[in-house]
């Protein structure tokens, strides 16, 4: 668990540019020491960025947040091995590999497709930190079966295998509360004695999109709501990109349970709005089952229809595709602000944040973009879309 769940916040100011012209006609500047949100009364065009991309040299963004409560559970239960899966350039798989290796736990990664000719980006990180097995796409389609089978092989005849959600429920039953995973105090845990005992294998689902992944995100909300950061009275709109949607739901749950006047806007990238709403409903239901009254699970009653505002990407496309000019736009933003985005995920949130902070936006409030990390995606994209990255 991170001893400090906070993050650096920058303020991005816009110059030039008009609605409909696109970001290429807009100039940006980055204030590394921004004024308080309460002082920003829309005298200029600006939005804030929570720099979760700076959490860790390679383990950053929403992947680090979702693992924030996962790793203490693994250590408390003396887990020796973790099995998870993802795409060839999976940020989740790489994050699990790094986080586990730092704690003496063996990571086993099942990656979809074929081994690339040149390993780079998140694939390279996964290879350096974890034990990789490439899985044919036909087998990968049956994820649960694939994960269970591989975990059994890792555990061996006398080892034990359990899914993360089941282990989390056991931990909650043992300690009677999920609240300890939300506290910001640094804790000490006993490291796994790898190789000395029978193997204890935990299976983590793709993307770490389970209820336990919400807790690290809620810790972030709790930190941001402190008076010296955003505070509890300031009306804000938080914008982020949505892959599985877990981070967006975690932000919304945290805001509702803490009584914050915050709106969460998630840019849909990988699923239909019906799919995201179904996922949101499941996560809310799961969270209410494990949350104690201290964190006001009752505040979520009647909100099963949803708290997150799911929106389409400004320039829609099939997930994983990069449009002409987007790599250059990321370069444009990086040179002017020092903030690196990627065309698939974080650029989508940046585009929406720009729209929401313009004068013609409805229901204006301070806009905060959560940078969900993923900048190593650029390495893999540069291989797949070579013409887009040629200077």
Bridge partners of 28, per DSSP, are 14
- Per-residue b/e over 345-377, b at no fewer than 16 CB within 10 Å? bbbbbbbbbbebbeeeeeeebbbbbbbbbbbbb
Which residue in 181, 259, 266, 187 sits closest to 219, CA to CA? 181
Which residue in 215, 203, 275, 221 sits closest to 244, CA to CA? 275
How would you write 248-309 as a 3-class SS string? HHHHHHHHHHCCCCEEEEEEECCCCHHHHHHHHHHHHHHHHHHCCHHHCHHHHCCCCCCCCE
Q: Which residues are catalytic?
A: 90
Which residue in 90, 99, 107 sits closest to 56, CA to CA? 99
Q: Which residues, 6 or more positions from 368, have their beta carbon under 8 angstroms from its beta carbon?
A: 9, 47, 48, 49, 50, 230, 236, 237, 238, 239, 353
Q: How many CB atoms lie within 10 A of CB 120?
A: 16
């Amino acid at each position: 668990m991170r001893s400090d769940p906070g993050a650096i916040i920058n303020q991005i100011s816009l110059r030039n540019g008009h609605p409909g012209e696109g970001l290429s006609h807009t100039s940006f500047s980055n204030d590394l020491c921004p004024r308080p949100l309460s002082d920003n009364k829309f005298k200029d065009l600006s939005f804030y960025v929570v720099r979760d991309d700076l959490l860790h040299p390679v383990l950053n963004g929403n992947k680090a947040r979702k693992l924030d409560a996962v790793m203490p559970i693994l250590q408390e239960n003396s887990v020796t091995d973790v099995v998870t899966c993802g795409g060839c350039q999976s940020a989740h798989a790489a994050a699990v590999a790094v986080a586990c290796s730092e704690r003496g736990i063996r990571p086993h990664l099942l990656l979809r497709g074929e081994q690339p000719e040149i390993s780079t980006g998140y694939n390279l990180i996964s290879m350096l930190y974890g034990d990789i097995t490439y899985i044919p796409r036909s087998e990968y389609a049956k994820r649960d079966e694939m994960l269970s089978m591989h975990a059994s092989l890792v555990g061996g005849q006398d080892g034990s295998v359990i899914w993360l959600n089941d282990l989390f429920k056991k931990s909650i039953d043992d300690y009677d509360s999920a609240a300890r995973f939300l506290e910001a105090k640094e804790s000490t845990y006993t490291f796994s004695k790898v190789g000395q005992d029978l193997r204890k294998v935990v299976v983590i689902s793709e993307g770490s999109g389970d209820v336990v992944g919400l807790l690290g995100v809620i810790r972030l909300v709790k930190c941001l709501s402190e008076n010296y950061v955003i505070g509890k009275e300031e009306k804000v709109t938080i914008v982020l990109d949505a892959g599985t949607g877990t981070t967006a739901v975690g932000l919304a749950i945290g805001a509702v349970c803490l009584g914050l006047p915050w709106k969460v806007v998630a840019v849909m990238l990988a699923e239909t709005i019906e799919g995201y709403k179904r996922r949101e409903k499941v996560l809310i239901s799961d969270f209410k089952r494990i949350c104690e009254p201290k964190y006001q699970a009752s505040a979520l009653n009647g909100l099963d229809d949803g708290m997150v505002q799911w929106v389409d990407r400004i320039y829609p496309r099939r997930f994983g595709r990069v449009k002409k000019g987007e790599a250059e736009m990321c370069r444009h933003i990086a040179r002017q602000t020092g903030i690196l985005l990627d065309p698939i995920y974080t650029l989508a949130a940046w585009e929406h944040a720009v729209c929401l902070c313009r004068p013609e936006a409805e229901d204006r409030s301070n806009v905060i973009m959560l940078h969900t990390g993923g900048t190593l995606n650029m390495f893999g994209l540069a291989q797949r879309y070579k013409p887009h990255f040629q200077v």
